[in-house]
Amino acid sequence: MTRPTASLSLDLDNLWAYQMTHGDPGWEKLGSYLDEVVPIALDFLAARQLTVTFFVVGKDAAVEANRPVLSSIAGAGHEIGNHSFHHRPWLHQLSEADVWSELTDAEDAIADATGQRPRGFRGPGYSLSPATLRVLVQRGYAYDCSTLPTFIGPLARAYYFRSTRLEPGQNDERRLLFGSWTEGLRPLEPYRWSVGDSTVVEVPVTTFPLLRVPIHISYLLYLDGVHPQLASAYFRCALRTCALLGVGPSILLHPLDFLGVDDVASLEFFPGMGMSGAYKRERVGELIDLFSARFDVGGLGRHIERLGAADGPLLDGEESAPEPSVAAALRRLRGRWRRERSHA
């Protein structure tokens, strides 16, 4: 029996990027764990014969010392995506000129480091804006995958602000982090953004159909901290529901899914960092094995090619801002749940 197509990706957020977003002093020193986590991730994927998409931060690719380990990702056959140059989760607040610099500077650094020019983009912190979509079209990108269709963005933002040490100006800069509740109205299946006379494919990070709560691996590890059986049962149910509704999941990994507080003590504030790295790697292996048993898992480029996403639903790219109008939100809501329920 042929398994449905799905995708797996890894956002290669580095130590300094977490520290910057958290407001920690000294992040400018660009502390890194890439030499440790990349070999772990590559061995993990090779053991499962999986080829996925790594989203690389341009600032890391521009550091000469990082280039051998980043090159090893492409050498292992994985697709390389663009995760912006400075990894600012408030990318959606930048001007189009600044977004252009973020993407093109990252493109050049990533291509130099890996030998692969990205054709896919994911905004840090799921940030997306009409300006970003315009730049993606102008740069000839095949796809974006910056959306997380969930209603819990404001809750995630509230948790984030409770755990940070930010100046007043930094608070304002991050005020729309993780988006609004209306993100949950966006489609789960790949679709197209209309941008002027052109389009760009969007592959959302999959959330639980109908419920619209996250199912990416970091969230599952958070649930594991509540009870391991809860995380596994929840993920199994989500995968069954995706299969029932014809949703090919796009599941997301992060470096901290492989590293624990014993590996990176300075990130103990991050959810799930009370676990050891060895325990995390064991649990992530079990979860990814559940995913691979039900779906044919590969990278994002392969995902859109197999699903023919270029023929998917068409949404207005000017309505991709983090705070859409009420009318736009209602237009998204109209028919969305009806379509999902009709498949249930």
Helix (H) or strand (E) holding 252: strand 250-253
Per-residue pLDDT of 308-343, as tens digits, reads 755 667 888 887 765 544 445 445 555 544 544 554
Per-residue pLDDT of 238-275, as tens digits, reads 999 999 999 999 999 999 999 999 999 889 888 888 89
Q: What percent of the chain has pLDDT over 70?
A: 83
Q: Contact at 8 Å (CB) between 233 and 224?
A: no
- Residue 41 C-alpha from the chain's centroid: 16
Q: What are phi and psi of 305, to 5 degrees?
A: -65, -40
CB atoms within 10 A of CB 311: 11
Q: Contact at 8 Å (CB) between 289 and 62?
A: no
At residue 121, the 3 state secondary structure works out as: strand
DSSP assignment of 283-341 equals HHHHHHHHHHHHSEEE-HHHHHHHHTGGGS-EEEGGG-SSS--HHHHHHHHTTHHHHHH
Between CA 312 and CA 20 the distance in angstroms is: 37
Q: Contact at 8 Å (CB) between 266 and 19?
A: yes
Q: Contact at 8 Å (CB) between 27 and 16?
A: yes
Reference 306, options 241, 262, 230, 250; nearest CA is 250
**Burial (Cβ within 10 Å: 0-12, 13-18, ≥19) of residue 50:** middle
Q: Contact at 8 Å (CB) between 188 and 149?
A: yes
Average pLDDT over residues 117-139: 96
Average pLDDT over residues 118-126: 95
Can you list the domains of the chain with their CATH numbers? 5-343 (3.20.20.370)
Between CA 154 and CA 232 the distance in angstroms is: 26
Per-residue tokens: 215:
């199912």
Between CA 244 and CA 129 the distance in angstroms is: 32
- The pLDDT-based confidence of 236 (bands split at 50, 70, 90) is very high
pLDDT at 325: 45
Between residues 161 and 299, the one the model is more confident about: 299
Between CA 124 and CA 88 the distance in angstroms is: 6
Per-residue pLDDT of 160-197, as tens digits, reads 445 555 555 555 545 455 556 677 788 999 999 999 99
Helix (H) or strand (E) holding 250: strand 250-253
At residue 183, the 3 state secondary structure works out as: helix
Strand pairing report for 296-298 and 5-11: parallel
Between CA 45 and CA 41 the distance in angstroms is: 6
Residue bearing tokens 């994985």: 78
